[in-house]
Amino acid sequence: MIETTADLEAACKELAKSEFITIDTEFLRETTFWPELCLIQMASPTTEVLVDPLAKGLDLTPFFELMANPAVLKVFHAARQDIEIIYNRGGLIPHPIFDTQVAAMVCGFGDSVSYDQLVSRTKGVQIDKSSRFTDWSRRPLSEKQLDYALADVTHLRDVYLYLKAELEREGRSSWLREEMDILEARETYDMHPDDAWQRLKMRLRKPQELAILKYVAAWREREARSRNVPRSRVLKDDAIYEIAQQQPKDAEALGRLRTIPKGWERSATGGAVVEAVNAALALPKAEMPHAPRQTQPPEGAAAAAELLKVLLKLISEKHGVAPKVIANSEDLDKIAAEGENAEVAALHGWRRELFGEPALQLIHGQVALRFVGKRVEAVAL
């Protein structure tokens, strides 16, 4: 376990000699807004290290410099949360990266395959899961816990090499690059508080309700970040919806709401919510937000979407690609209703070539689905 800056600097210097390194982190976030980084695991083909970010006086600068080194490929499994931590702690996004979970979907291992499943299917090795729910903030960690943590990057080396070879054999390396561009985008991890309302499910339609939803959600986001507590510890989603609908303009009205704890309306946070409500209601009519217009899908769109689901399944099975990485149900509904004008990923890049074009041909009557024996196949008309 690396616990000093000098040892970390030496380890990162050694790791930087490799073309690729595998990385994983262990963290806690049940009681905080920002994930609490508790352990860093890294491995190259010749080096394996564990880093204790909780060690007193440890400076993580060498680690962040390694993450920013463009000459070293950083390999993760399900990278988003690990990258979020690196971004929040170090102010940077690792580059270049390779996410084995996404690569596995492109190579036909199914939707969101877990690390232990991928290790089992590519290496025939069963990982001991008994330390999965460890409190990684407690010290000292046992040898069993450390072995479990290190296995998250040692097996990942072979998984990466296997998937890299598969992508090259199938000519799909460029497909993965498109997905990694999304994971490397700063906006993936840096949502502005004013956009926090977009995390909430759209239950409201009236402009005033939406304005209050937006203002109160932005206040909650800033409050949760400043106090470093989960959003729900500040104000639950159901409370935001009720506040938006009931529009309490003072503490007395706020206290009458079912979702507000007794006495909370007289607190400083309760006062801040009332201020947010009144600020939203004071917006000029022209500045009020509007919900996306719900248009009635054309007749037959629902049936067309069902046919597109069948086509997606056929194509994903034929090419060994997980359906989820090509298109989701919402994408299919949009293609069925809007055709070429649908703004969905399935009509761009490699997805369009693989599925988008056949999908458009199907809804335009240029391709048909038919039974041959007990199988369904797509045929050109």
Domain harbouring 131, CATH code: 3.30.420.10
Residues 201 and 178 in one domain: no
CATH code for the domain of 216: 1.10.150.80
Residues 153 and 18 in one domain: yes
What whole-number percentage of the chain has pLDDT above 70? 98
Residue 140 lies in a domain: yes
Of the residues 232, 252, 282, which one is the last residue of a structural domain? 282
Residues 125 and 236 in one domain: no
Residues 216 and 234 in one domain: yes
Look at the chain and report how many structural domains it folds into: 3
The secondary element (H helix, E strand) that includes residue 12 is helix 5-15
Residues 244 and 272 in one domain: yes
Q: How far apart are the first and last CA of the chain?
A: 64
Residues 20 and 125 in one domain: yes
Q: 4 to each of 1, 59, 331, how far by Cα in Å?
A: 9, 8, 50
Region 250-273 average pLDDT: 95
Classify residue 96 by its DSSP letter: S
Ramachandran region, residue 112 (left: φ > 0; alpha: ψ -120 to 50; beta: rest): left
| Rounded Cα distance, 131 and 114, in Å | 16
Look at residue 296 in the predicted model and tell me its pLDDT. 67
Look at residue 238 in the predicted model and tell me its pLDDT. 95
Residue 161 lies in a domain: yes
Look at residue 294 in the predicted model and tell me its pLDDT. 62
Of the residues 248, 282, 316, which one is the last residue of a structural domain? 282
| Rounded Cα distance, 53 and 57, in Å | 9
> 367-372 and 20-28 as β-strands: parallel, antiparallel, unpaired?
unpaired
Residue 291 lies in a domain: no
Residue 170 lies in a domain: yes
Residue 292 lies in a domain: no
- Residue 359: exposure state from Cβ atoms within 10 A (0-12, 13-18, ≥19): buried
Tokens at 122, concatenated: 């590519």
- Among 176-180, 188-192, 285-289, name the one with the lowest average pLDDT: 188-192
Biggest distance spanned by C-alpha atoms of the chain = 71
- Residue 363 Cα to chain centre, angstroms: 31
Phi, psi of 37 (to 5 degrees): -70, 120
User: What is the 3-state composition of the chain as percent helix, strand, coil, each rounded to the nearest 5?
Assistant: 55, 10, 35
HSE-CB of 1 using CA atoms within 13 angstroms: 17
- Among 10-14, 41-45, 296-300, name the one with the lowest average pLDDT: 296-300
Q: 289 to each of 169, 275, 279, 280, 285, how far by Cα in Å?
A: 49, 18, 13, 10, 9
pLDDT at 369 over 70: yes
Picking from 217, 196, 338, 227, the residue whose alpha carbon sits closest to that of residue 276 is: 217
Q: Which domain holds residue 127?
A: 5-188
For 183-203, the DSSP string reads HT-GGGT---GGGGGGGS---
Q: Note whether 190 and 83 are within 8 A (CB).
A: no
Residue 48 lies in a domain: yes
Residue 46 lies in a domain: yes
Q: Note whether 243 and 273 are within 8 A (CB).
A: yes
CATH code for the domain of 334: 1.10.150
Of the residues 188, 209, 226, which one is the last residue of a structural domain? 188
Residue 16 lies in a domain: yes
Show the CA angle centred on residue 182, arms to residues 216 and 338, nearest 5°.
80
Residue 372: band (very low, low, confident or very high) from pLDDT cuts 50, 70, 90: confident
What mean pLDDT is reported for the chain? 93
Residues 371 and 346 in one domain: yes
Look at residue 293 in the predicted model and tell me its pLDDT. 67
Residues 67 and 146 in one domain: yes
- Residue 180 Cα to chain centre, angstroms: 12
Residue 295: band (very low, low, confident or very high) from pLDDT cuts 50, 70, 90: low
pLDDT at 282 over 90: yes
Residues 181 and 256 in one domain: no
HSE-CB of 70 using CA atoms within 13 angstroms: 1
Residue 291: band (very low, low, confident or very high) from pLDDT cuts 50, 70, 90: confident
Residue 343: band (very low, low, confident or very high) from pLDDT cuts 50, 70, 90: very high
Residues 197 and 181 in one domain: no
Look at residue 298 in the predicted model and tell me its pLDDT. 75
pLDDT at 239 over 80: yes
| 129: helix, strand or coil | coil
User: Over the stretch 40-89, which tens digit does the pLDDT of each residue have?
Assistant: 999 999 999 999 999 999 999 999 999 999 999 999 999 999 999 999 99
Residues 247 and 347 in one domain: no
| Rounded Cα distance, 324 and 222, in Å | 33
| Rounded Cα distance, 351 and 87, in Å | 29
pLDDT at 349 over 70: yes
Residue 381: band (very low, low, confident or very high) from pLDDT cuts 50, 70, 90: confident
